[in-house]
Structure 1
Amino acid sequence: MSWSTRELAALAGVSVRAIRHWHDLGLLPEPDRRANGYKQYIGQHLVLVLRIKRLTGLGFTLDRVGELLDHTPAGAAAAGPGTPAGPGTPADARAADDTGGPAQLMALRGELDARIAELQRVRADVDALLREGGPLDLTPAAALVYAALAGGSGPTDSAPATGAIQDRDATAQRASRDIAIVLGHLAPNRQVTAIADVVAGIPHQLRRLDRDVMRLPADASAAEIAGLADDVAAAMRSFIADSSDHAALAELDAHSTLDTSLVTEFAFEGLNAAQRQVMTRVLAALTDPA
């Protein structure tokens, strides 16, 4: 009684790729080969494949399966070709059963509970997307930040943007999305939601100035850079003063875990030379005690 790799896989109900992978990991020893060079699996190989299938089906990782089988690549090599190592023997099977006792099962149950909780979280996100829509690559909290950054600008006083201005507007939209993605990763949902709440309250004047910064060409004059930086800094000071009792700002102050310098560096990365000069001046003005 012997089988080829494909026959063994079909009989055990696993893939040929799984058989080969288990060989690579040393979980399944290489069998003898026929005169024509084809592998020749025997009944003990089938038993071992079924045991591996059962343990992985329970949720054990392949590293843990190796421990439960009391089987290592060195042990397989020592047994010689064609003979499944330790786990193929009744004595070692009993030993493997002993190691797979309550402690192993309780550890596995904890891992399964964590995976179930993660799947429930993912399902809640999918349900929210089905119900409300939104970008697939943003967490719900990050999507709130993106909506707050990209929206709410209101009517503008200037003519519709064309040409290079449109390109810079598109770049600004992508930058808003990128910042939202990074914030969604770096901060807990509660903090990201608070950030979204603060951003949503930015007044139209400050949003218009932000638009002007993002439309500023790289070759803008020094006077234009200085004037725009002064306007933005003044608007920012006013916004901070008016929002001093904002509940979301209090939340951020009390539970801040965000590396703001990293976010600032990331935000500056997408700016051209003139835009970086404006924002550097703004940050310096806001941090100046005078």
Structure 2
Amino acid sequence: MRSMAWSTRELAELAGTTLKTVRYYHRIGLLEEPERAANGYKRYRVTHLIRLLRIRRLVDLGVPLSDIPAMRESDENAERTLRALDAELKASIERQQRMRDELALILRRRSLVDLPPGFDGNVADLSEVERSWLMVYSRVLDATAMTTLLKLHSTPRPPVQAEFDGLPADADEATRQRLAENYAPMVRRQFEEHPSLKDVATSGALSSPVVLQGLVELYNPAQLDVLRRLNALLEGTLPEPS
């Protein structure tokens, strides 16, 4: 019975892959070169097809090409590679599920897309500047600090916050001082209720270049002056209102 042999193109078609892929597998030593006919053409047999199909099977499962040779060496190597891949897939599935949960939340409240992951508070109650700051803070604060900030922003905004947001750049000194004095008790209460905020204040993260630039770009001169006065009150360098 005359033995069957295939060309490279025929082998690729039988395996459901491309001519380029077969040649690449040869080049990296993953698929052995077949014998050649008298005319110089390669003559692939069933053993090559089986090998190619096994390679494609592993690739379809997500096994990197670089790991396949070691898998052929021993069952131990094969199991270790497959278990590592399984762990990666498990982590990927969990990450994608978290993404789906986040998308479901955003579909219910589209404006959440402008906020860092994990925020599920009252978005409508946040100003554009507050949303911007949460995004900035997500790049400079650790997970614990961000959790605390998200909790703070999940509660209704106090009137003093709304007044600060709407403060005009030409607000007089008396208005700026009054606003800082009204702000101080609220900030002190937040520090008492959330001790981790003290770590944020002393960590140096709030003096990072991106935060300092944010202050300049997101606040007008009057608001910056209120923050300076507030900081002085909190540090006790200015007298408390009687």
TM over 0.5: yes
Q: 1:274 aligns with which of 200, 221, 234?
A: 221
Instruction: Output one character per residue of 1:156-209: Cα deviation in whole Å (capped at 9) or x when no partner.
Output: xxxxxxxxxxxxxxxxx2x43332233445443x65343233243442133212
Distance change >3 Å, CA 138–CA 125, structure 1 → 2: same
Contact 1:144 1:196 in 2 (8 A): yes
Gaps of 5+ in 2: 1-5, 35-40, 238-242
> Among 157, 160, 163, which residue is 1:205 paired with?
160
Please state whether the residue corresponding to 2:57 is helix, strand or coil.
Answer: helix
Q: Does 1:260 align with 2:191?
A: no
- Letter matched to residue 125 of structure 1: E
Q: Are the equivalent residues in 2 in contact too, given 1:237–1:286 (CA < 8 A)?
A: yes
Alignment of 1:1-290 (within 5 A): 1-4=6-9, 10-14=13-17, 19=21, 26=28, 42=44, 49-60=52-63, 62=64, 65-70=65-70, 94-95=72-73, 97-98=74-75, 100-131=77-108, 133-136=110-113, 138-142=115-119, 144=121, 147-150=124-127, 173=128, 175-184=129-138, 186-188=141-143, 191-199=145-153, 200-212=155-167, 215-216=168-169, 220=170, 224=171, 226-227=173-174, 229-243=176-190, 245-246=192-193, 249-250=194-195, 252=197, 259-262=205-208, 264-265=211-212, 267-271=214-218, 274=221, 277-278=224-225, 281-282=228-229, 284-286=231-233, 288-290=235-237
CA drift of 1:15 comes to: 6.6
After TM superposition, the score normalised by the length of structure 1 is 0.55
**Structure 1 unaligned residues grouped into runs of 5+:** 33-38, 71-92, 151-172
Cα shift at 1:239: 1.4
User: Conserved in 1, the CA contact under 8 Å of 2:164 and 2:223?
Assistant: no
Partner amino acid for 2:61? L
In 2, are the aligned partners of 1:142 and 1:183 still within 8 Å (CA)? no
CA distance in 2, matches of 1:288, 1:21: 71
User: Does the residue aligned with 1:141 lie in a helix, a strand or coil?
Assistant: coil
* Cα 1:94–1:149 shift into 2, 3 Å: closer
Q: What's the % identity of the aligned pairs?
A: 23
In the alignment, the residues of structure 1 paired with residue 14 and residue 213 of structure 2 have an alpha-carbon distance, to the nearest angstrom, of: 54
